[in-house]
Chains A and B, each alone.
Chain A
């Protein structure tokens, strides 16, 4: 399994929670020296397993009180309509996430707005006017929790 040992998994667990930890701190936490920890972190990055930083902000403290998940169905499906839709939807600044999915919807979107009326503006002016957009379902997020994932089951 990618040649990872228990120490690598422990390092992943630490950095997935806090990317600002130094190699020395990570090494101390997993019982190896700073140079060894640094080499392992670099290797995990080179292998693409550590895929860059994620900054988690308190959106509400910055005036963005509403996060909405949208399911979008396209009215017409063809290669060009997918490309047109994707190009237009990724350009909307309030749209944080765009995922192409299979199922009841064609796309999942995550939208952050200042409040419900700001969301309504984005929905009416930006989303409903997207090329090829069909049925749209909105769910307002109340809480969110990210989990470490199956790191414990890898070794």
Chain B
């Protein structure tokens, strides 16, 4: 169970994931050695599931990002599993979430440009199984994207 010091470290890490170890340790009020030890423990126990590098797809020339919301035909009990398995086969899908609410599933899908988007949408998205309804939200801009928690 993370203690108060762990939470302080996590708060600093989530607020500034690219900070150097020494800076993080100073902000959290611990020594760098103690920071390393605690971060290792937090990773071992799965409190920190992963530290990844984000890929900026726009920098790679993928200009279009769409949030697709789906309602599935839930009369078929395999609907969720088969939809998710098929969505994993689409390379342009970067996120898959399932929900309790009026929306069952959401995909983040990226494309190089609008022509490519149209192609991905027609060939790979409209062919996904068990969809009873879908709707698209086209990303204009990301104003905030943080993993911070009100710790």
Contacts and interface: CB of A to CB of B under 8 A. Distances in A.
A146 B94 contact: yes
B71 to A, nearest CB: 11
A137 B46 CA distance: 32
B114 to A, nearest CB: 12
Interface string B40-62: 00000111111111111101111
A56 B50 contact: yes
B102 A139 contact: yes
Contact of B99 (A49, A61, A90, A139): A139
B148 A57 contact: no
B2 A53 contact: no
Interface string B95-137: 1111111110010001000000000000000000000000111
B144 interface: yes
Interface range on chain A (Cβ under 8 Å from partner): 35 or more
Contacts of A153: 91
A86 B14 CA distance: 21
Given A61-B46, A95-B144, A147 B88 contact: yes
Contacts of A49: 55-56, 59-60
Contact of A152 (B91, B103, B144): B91
B100 A139 contact: yes
B124 to A, nearest CB: 11
A59 B54 contact: no
A50 interface: yes
Contacts of A142: 97-100
Contact of B135 (A59, A103, A146): A103
B7 interface: yes
29 contacts: A2-B61, A50-B56, A51-B53, A53-B18, A55-B17, A55-B48, A55-B51, A56-B51, A56-B147, A62-B149, A62-B151, A71-B137, A93-B148, A96-B145, A99-B141, A99-B145, A100-B140, A101-B137, A101-B140, A102-B137, A102-B140, A103-B135, A108-B67, A142-B97, A143-B98, A146-B95, A147-B96, A149-B91, A150-B62
Q: Which 5 A-B pairs have the closest CB atoms?
A: A139-B101, A51-B56, A53-B17, A103-B137, A150-B91
